Amino acid sequence: MGNHVSEKNKLFRKENEDRARLLIKCPDQPGIVAAVSSFLRDNGANIIESSQYSANPEGGNFFIRMEFECPGLRGKRTLLETAFSDIAQQFNMEYDFLYVTDIKKTAIFVSKEPHCLMELLWEWQNGELIMDIECIISNYEDSREAVESLGIPFYYIPANKDIRKQVEAQQLEILKKHNIELIILARYMQILTPEFVSHYPNQIINIHHSFLPAFIGARPYERAYERGVKLIGATSHYVTNDLDEGPIIEQGVERVNHRDKVVDLKRIGRQIERSVLARAVKWHLQDRVIVDGNKTIVF
């Protein structure tokens, strides 16, 4: 199965070897689109998809994501990036060239509940989530068999709040070894320290099992039940130092009623969690998500 995915990703790389994305953030002013699109044209690139957003036409930031096709891209990367620095300076841009063939090296963290991990593995095998899953890290052994059967390394690191420091040290070592670029917390029920988070800014995606900002923190389904809500939800967000306060990428809800006990809310919630997390990860992998302060722009 793992081989099967490698084959798919190989094919994907081949089909997309000339494909890249340019993400830009800069103060809004006339002429940005003209400058960038002329640059791409002059360098032989064809714009395939383009989305832009002005936070505030009178004096805010401007954001743009352009996906383009450029024959012979591999050999022209340095050239392109160097040539673009002039425009970037002129418009005071923060920017990033992202090459579609640079498939993101990903680690998935999971605790006991496997449904989010399973959804990610499933969509990865289907070719819906284009990523290289380098490893799974868990504080439980439960998922080992399913993970290893796909040829993915599984690391069991028991964790609790008393040994947080040494646990994170172990985890960081593994992440470094695998050159991880994206960490997905697929119902990993341990809090990460600011120190850990600081190594991966806007690179850790969490799924919280409530419709944030309702029911921040522990036991959201129990609290939703107590409150008697008529809809429950899930939220996928980037992890920052503030618990469940990071930039939201995606949310979903489902209807519940008075007959639904906590166990039913959890069951219904699992379906929301897995689809919300899968969408958020997909958008991140396609470089569609730009963090702007404590919010996201999803192009």
Q: Give min distance, CB of 112 to its own copies, in A.
A: 13
Closest CA to 59 of 37, 26, 81, 87: 26
Query: With contact defined as beta carbons under 8 Å apart, do 166 and 217 qualify?
Result: no
Q: Which of 78, 160, 179, 258 binds its own copies (CB under 8 A)?
A: 258
Give the Å distances, CA to CA, from 44 to 18, 38, 215: 11, 10, 51
Write down the catalytic residue from 86, 102, 142, 244: 244
Cβ atoms within 10 Å of 131's Cβ, excluding its own: 22
Nearer Cβ to its own copies (163/263): 263
Three-state SS annotation for 112-175: CCCHHHHHHHHHHHCCCCCCEEEEEEECCCCCHHHHHCCCCCEEECCCCHHHHHHHHHHHHHHH
Q: Rounded to 5 degrees, what are φ and ψ at 56?
A: -160, 105
Task: Return the range that interacts with its own copies (CB under 8 A); candidates 9-17, 129-137, 191-199, 257-265.
Answer: 257-265
Q: Does 128 bind its own copies (CB under 8 A)?
A: yes
Q: Does 259 bind its own copies (CB under 8 A)?
A: yes
Query: With contact defined as beta carbons under 8 Å apart, do 275 and 253 qualify?
Result: no
Using CB under 8 A as the criterion, what x/- string covers residues 21-60 for binding its own copies? --------xxx-xx--xx-xxx-xxxxxxxxxxx--x---
Scanning residues 56 to 95, which ones bind its own copies (CB under 8 A)?
Answer: 57, 69
Helix axes 115-125, 262-285, angle to 10 degrees: 40
**244 catalytic per annotation:** yes
Helix then strand then coil, % of the chain, to nearest 5: 40, 25, 35
Q: Which of 150, 189, 253, 262 binds its own copies (CB under 8 A)?
A: 253
Task: Return the range that interacts with its own copies (CB under 8 A); candidates 10-18, 118-126, 175-183, 197-205.
Answer: 118-126
Closest CA to 168 of 191, 146, 189, 187: 191
Q: Give min distance, CB of 55 to its own copies, in A.
A: 9
DSSP string, 209-277: SS-TTTT-SS-HHHHHHHHT-SEEEEEEEE--SSTT-SPEEEEEEEE--TT--HHHHHHHHHHHHHHHH
Nearer Cβ to its own copies (53/99): 53
Q: Computed from CA positions of residues 264, 268, 274, 277, in that sequence, does the dihedral angle turn out positive or negative?
A: negative
Task: Return the range that interacts with its own copies (CB under 8 A); candidates 10-18, 98-106, 122-130, 153-161.
Answer: 122-130
Q: Does 231 bind its own copies (CB under 8 A)?
A: yes
Q: Which of 84, 91, 109, 211 binds its own copies (CB under 8 A)?
A: 211
Q: Does 262 bind its own copies (CB under 8 A)?
A: no
Q: Give min distance, CB of 148 to its own copies, in A.
A: 13
Q: Does 202 bind its own copies (CB under 8 A)?
A: no
Task: Return the range that interacts with its own copies (CB under 8 A); candidates 77-85, 98-106, 162-170, 223-231.
Answer: 223-231
Provide the β-strand partners of residue 50.
66
Site residues for its own copies per CB under 8 A: 29-31, 33-34, 37-38, 40-42, 44-54, 57, 69, 115, 118, 122, 126, 128, 211-215, 227-231, 233, 247-253, 257-259, 267, 271, 275, 292, 294-298
- Which residues are annotated as catalytic? 244
